[in-house]
Structure 1
C-alpha cells in the first residue's frame, strides 16, 4: 500500500463510514458465533474490528490479528491488543488453529490468491469458518486499486468457485454496498473517459467527507439490516462465509 495512503487510512479507519459500516456488517454476521471462539483477523490494521468484537462479548484472549504493516501492529499495541503480529496474510505461521478467520479486503493484495485460501483453510479447526471480503467487479477498477496494490477484483461466482476448489463448503455468499455502486461506477467511467494527468496522480478514493459521513453511514447500516433478509445481485464488495 502507498505509504501516504496508509497514513490517511489509519487516520480515517475509526470514523469513516465505509470502515465503520463494514465492521458493523461483520459483527452482524458473527452475532450467533460462540463468544469463546478463537478468531484471527487477517489484515487487522489497528485492531478496530477486534476491539469491536470484545465490546460484543467475545473473549479478548482468544482474539488474534496479523498485518504486514509494522505501524498497524504498533497501533494494535496502543489499543491493548497483545495477540497481534507483523506477518503476511499469504502464509500464516502462528502454530495454532482458529475457529474463525476473517479476511476483509486482503485477498486482492495477494498475487497467488489460491495458495492464500489454502493456507487459511489449513489454519482453521475442523468445521471452522472463513469470512472473506474482497472488492467486486473489474469494471470498477481504477487508480484506487493501483494505489492499494490490488492484483484483481472479484465476482461472487469467482470467489465461491475458488473456495470450493479448495474444498471449502460455502455457507453464505453475496454482495455488499449496493447503495454506492451506481454512483461509483459512473464516477469511475467518467474518470476513464476524461482522464487527465491530475487524475492519474490521485491517491485513491479515501477522503475526509465531512457532513456526508453520517448519512452515508446510516445508509450502509440500513443496507446491513436489509441483507439479513435479501441478497443483492451486485455491490462494490463481494463476500463468502465458508466452512472447513
Structure 2
C-alpha cells in the first residue's frame, strides 16, 4: 500500500453550464480559492469581487489572507466579508510573512476549515486573472478526471485578451525556460497567479512545510509534486498537471514586481532545485525504507514493473540471456530457477524453455510477478533457497549477485540446488569506477570485473563454460554519465537511473544490442557494462 496517493473525486454531483458551476444536492463548500493580500488598499477591486460572488455557485468559497498589511487592506477585506458572509472569509496574519507563506497558510486553513472541499487553489489579489476564469478551470477537471492540478497560462492567441507589457513578457519567457530546464518539465508559464489543485494526501504533503522561496514558490510546488511522484511511484507530473490557456489576463498598475526581482528569482530557482533533491515529506520520514537504506523502496519495484517490458536495457539484457539459455539444450520439462525474479518479466520469458520457479525475498516483487500470471513463486533468501538438493536443470540470476553481502555463499547455495551437469547463467554489473546513485538505490554491494567473478565461481566449485563482457559500445556513454552525476547525499532516498529515451531511440538501442547478441555467439568482448557467465555444476 502506498503511504500517499492521488485521490480521485467524483463529479456526479456537478454540472457545468456556460461560465457557472452548479453543485447539486447540498450547499457544501467544494472549491476554496485563497487570495493573498499585502497593502492592496489602493488597487483592491471590491466591485469585481462582489460581482463574482453574486453570480458564482455557493460551492465556491474565497479566503482572503491579509499578509500583515500596514495600510487599510484588512479594513477593506472585512467590509467585503461583512457583505458576503456566506461566500468570503478573511484570515488575518498579524505580520508580513511573504506571498508564499500567506498562500500556504491560506491553503492549510481552507483544508482544515472546509473538509468537504474537493479543490483548493490561489488567485492573485490584483485579479489580473479574473475570478470568472474559475469555472473554466473546473471544466478542465471535469473533462480530465485524472488531473491533480490546473494552472493558468498566459498565451496571447487570437480571441484571447492577454495584455502584458513586453518587458515582463520576455523576462518571463527567459525565466520560464530556465524553470522548465530545472524541473525537467515542458511548462510554459510557471508564474501565473491562478492555480487550482485537487484535494489529496500528496497535496497536503506539498503544503505541509514552509516553502524555501518567497517569490517563485509556484516552481517549488511543481518540484515537490515531482519529487513525491518519484518517491511514491505516482503518475509523472507532466501527465497530471494541465496548463489552461486563459481567456483574459492584464497587467495591473501597482505591481510589486521589479526587474531586479528576476535576478532574485534565478537565485531562488537554484536553491529550490538543490532543496527538492533532498526533500522528503514529513509523513514519509518515519517510514522504514527512509530510515533504513537497506530496504529497497517500493517505488523502485513499481518503476521496474512499468518499464522492464519495453525499456531497451531490460529488453536487451533479457534477449541476451535468453539466447544463452536457449543454447544449453535443456531437456523437455526442464526446471528453471529464476533467483531474484524481481517483478517477473524475465521469469515469464524463460517459460518457453521449461517450468520456471521464481524466488525473491520481496513480497512487493512477488505480488507483481502474480500480476503477470506467474504462479510458481516462492519467497526466500538467495543464500538459503527453499528448494531441495539437485532440483533444477538451470538457474538464472540476472544482476542478482551484486545485491548479496556474501556472494561466495550464494554461489555455493546455487550449486547445491542444481542437478549435476546443470548450468548457472548470470549477469552482474561491471567495474567499480561506474558505481553511482543507481547502485545505491538498487541495493548493490559491489560491481565486478570478469576475473573476480570467475574466481568466485571456481571457489564455489563451478566449472566455467563461457564468459564475456556485454553492452560494450555503451561503456563510454556510461562513463561520461557517471562523471556528470554524484553519489546522492545520505539524507534523501536515492533513485535508480533509467534515463528516458524517445521511442525511436529505444527501438534503435534494442536492435543495436540484438546485433551484439548475435556477435557474442561467436566471440567474447574484453570490456562492457556487464559481465555474463555460464557456469556448470560438475557431474
Instruction: Give 4+ residue runs of structure 1 displaced > 4 Å after superposition.
Output: none
* 2:341 paired residue among 18, 41, 44: 44
SS in 2 for 1:100: strand
The CA distance in 2 between the partners of 1:118 and 1:5, in whole Å, is 29
Matched ranges for 1:132-147 at <5 A? 132-147=426-441
The CA distance in 1 between the partners of 2:298 and 2:367, in whole Å, is 16
The CA distance in 1 between the partners of 2:380 and 2:386, in whole Å, is 8
* 2:515 paired residue among 184, 198, 222: 222
SS in 1 for 2:465: strand
The Cα of 1:53 is off from its aligned counterpart by 2.5
Long gaps (5+) in structure 1: none
The CA distance in 2 between the partners of 1:186 and 1:46, in whole Å, is 30
The Cα of 1:219 is off from its aligned counterpart by 1.2
Which residue of 2 is the match for residue 24 of structure 1? 319
* 1:158 paired residue among 440, 452, 470: 452
Which residue of 1 is the match for residue 425 of structure 2? 131
- Give per-residue Cα distances to partners, 1:177-229, cap 9 Å, x unaligned: 1121111111212334xx897xx876121233232211111111111111112
SS in 1 for 2:326: coil
Q: Would the aligned equivalents of 1:135 and 1:236 in 2 still touch at CA under 8 Å? A: yes
SS in 2 for 1:28: helix
Number of aligned positions between the proteins: 236
Long gaps (5+) in structure 2: 1-295
- Give per-residue Cα distances to partners, 1:72-118, cap 9 Å, x unaligned: 21222232221112222121122251110111111101001111111
- Is the counterpart of residue 98 in structure 1 residue 395 in structure 2? no
Matched ranges for 1:81-96 at <5 A? 81-95=374-388
The Cα of 1:170 is off from its aligned counterpart by 0.3
Please tell me whether Structure 1 or Structure 2 has the larger radius of gyration of its CA atoms. Answer: 2
SS in 2 for 1:63: strand
User: What is the TM-score with the length of structure 2 in the denominator?
Assistant: 0.42
Which residue of 1 is the match for residue 303 of structure 2? 8
Identify if the C-alpha distance between structure 1 residues 196 and 163 changes in structure 2 by more than 3 Å, giving closer, same or farther.
closer
SS in 2 for 1:30: helix
